[in-house]
Structure 1
C-alpha cells in the first residue's frame, strides 16, 4: 500500500496520507512521496488547488514516525519540503486546503499549518507531545505555532503539551471552519469551489506575495515587486477578466 495517494479531480489535486495503521505518521517513504506530490502539483498548469487529508478514523497525522523517523534527505525536508524542517523549505505555489480530524500532532500539526485553509472536524485535537514524551528533534512546529496562535496559548502547547480542541482552534483563528466529522468532505468541497471560482493565477500570485512579504518588514513588502503579479497583465486570464467586466458576465478562467 502506497504511503500517500495522489489523484486528480478536475482542477483539484487530492493528496491522502495513507498509513492509517500508523496514524499516518510520516516516515522517510512518505516524506519522499510528499515531495514528489508537491512538485507534480506545482508543475501541473491544470491543477488550481490541492487538498490534503489523512486516511482512517483516528488521525489526520500523529507526527513523525518514531520507529522510522524521516531524515529529510530524500524528501527535501520533513513533510516533503513543505514544512522546511531539517532541509529546504518548499512553498507550494498552488492554494492548499487541509482537512483535519482526530489527532493532529507534532509534525502533523506542522503540516496542517502549512496549508492556506484548514477545515477541522469537531473531533480534531491539535498537540505538541514532545515535552510530555521527552523526545525532541528539530521541532520546527514550535516556530509556526508561536506565530499562528496567541503567545501564551502556543507556549502552553510547547512547554506543557497542552492540547487544543477544534472549537478553541477556531476561536484563536488557527482553523477556518469547524464542522461535524460527517460534514468534513462537504465543507472541503465548498472551500475548493470558492477557490476554483477565483482567477487561479491571481490566487497564486497573491499567495506568493503574501508569503514572501512575511520575510521582510511591512515597508519593504509594500515597496517590493512580485514576479507573478508583474506577469499577470500578460496572461489570457487578465484579458478574460477585462472582457467579462465589460460584458457583465462571469469570467471563464483558463489558468494561462
Structure 2
C-alpha cells in the first residue's frame, strides 16, 4: 500500500484517507486499484462494521479522476473510487455502511464518490460540482446519474448543464448531506457518526442496506414482496438472540456480528 492512501482500523471502524493533497486528492489509476483492495478488506473483515472515507488537507475531499496521464479509458481498469462510482468499470456496492467526510472540493468523480456513501458529513467550506461541461469532458456521462437521483430534478440539471457548484449549506437544504460542521469539527463528527453506527447490529445494518439499495429502483409492491437472503440469514444469527435478550434485560446489546 502506497502513502497515497492511508488506512487504519479503530474498534470496528475502518478509516480510509485519500492522501494526495497537492493534486486535490484526485484519484489515479493506481490509487483506484489500491482502493479496490481496501474495499475488499472492509467487506471481508468481520471485525470491520463501518467505513469512514475522507481526503487529506482542507482544500479538497476529491477532485475526481486524475487525468494528468490522459483521458483515454482502459476497459480493464477498476471503476473510479475503487469501484464505488461505477464510472469506467463495474459498479461495486459496499456491504458495510460508508460515511464520507467532505471538505473543500468534491468535484466530478469526487462528487460521485461522496454520493456513493450512505452518510455524508460536509465541512462548511465544501463545494460539490460537476464541472465536466465547462471543460468539455463528459466521457460516457457516468457523472450525471447519481445527482439526478439524489437531488431535486431542477437543482441537479442546473449543476449538470452549467457546471456550477453547490455549497455545503445548499447541499444540506436539498437533503444531499446529513450534517454541516466546521472544518475543525469534521473528523470528530465523523467519529461520532461511526460510534452511532457501531451501536447497531452490524448484520442487521448490512441486511437492511442490501434490501434498501437492491430494490430502490423497483415498484414498492415488488420491493415488499421480495425475499432477501441477508435478512433471512440474519434471522438465524446470534445478534438476533442478543437483541431480544438485551431488550428483556433492559440493557444495551453487545453485538458480535455473528
Q: Do the structures match in fold with TM over 0.5? A: yes
Task: Say if 1:28 and 1:72, in contact at 8 Å, map to a contact too.
Answer: no
3-state SS of the aligned residue for 1:159? helix
Stretches of structure 1 lacking an aligned partner (at least 5 in a row): none
3-state SS of the aligned residue for 1:53? strand
CA deviations over 1:49-97 (Å, ceiling 9, x no partner): 000000122100011112135746342x111111111221110000000
The equivalent position to 1:87 in structure 2, one of 77, 86, 89, is 89
3-state SS of the aligned residue for 1:231? helix
CA deviations over 1:174-213 (Å, ceiling 9, x no partner): 0000001111112111111110111111111100000001
Equivalent-residue separation in structure 2 for 1:138 and 1:35 (angstroms): 21
Sort the Cα spacing of 1:45 and 1:72 in 2 relative to 1 into closer, same or farther, 3 A. Answer: farther
Shift in Å at residue 47 of structure 1? 0.2
Equivalent-residue separation in structure 1 for 2:76 and 2:82 (angstroms): 10
Which sits farther off after the overlay, 176-185 or 132-141? 132-141
Task: Say if 2:101 and 2:122, in contact at 8 Å, map to a contact too.
Answer: yes
TM-score (norm 1): 0.96
* Residues paired across the two proteins, number: 255
Which sits farther off after the overlay, 227-236 or 106-115? 227-236
* Structure 2 counterpart of 1:73: 76
Equivalent-residue separation in structure 1 for 2:226 and 2:101 (angstroms): 33
Stretches of structure 2 lacking an aligned partner (at least 5 in a row): none
* Structure 2 counterpart of 1:55: 56
Matched, 1:3 2:1: no
Equivalent-residue separation in structure 1 for 2:216 and 2:143 (angstroms): 17
Shift in Å at residue 28 of structure 1? 0.4
* Structure 2 counterpart of 1:107: 109
Equivalent-residue separation in structure 2 for 1:40 and 1:46 (angstroms): 10
CA deviations over 1:78-122 (Å, ceiling 9, x no partner): 111111112211100000000000010000000000000000000
Task: Say if 2:85 and 2:112, in contact at 8 Å, map to a contact too.
Answer: yes
User: Cα RMSD over matched residues?
Assistant: 1.2
The equivalent position to 2:130 in structure 1, one of 128, 146, 171, is 128
Equivalent-residue separation in structure 2 for 1:198 and 1:139 (angstroms): 37
Which sits farther off after the overlay, 43-52 or 138-147? 138-147
Task: Say if 2:58 and 2:183, in contact at 8 Å, map to a contact too.
Answer: no
Equivalent-residue separation in structure 2 for 1:138 and 1:95 (angstroms): 28
TM-score (norm 2): 0.96
3-state SS of the aligned residue for 1:88? coil
Equivalent-residue separation in structure 2 for 1:156 and 1:177 (angstroms): 23
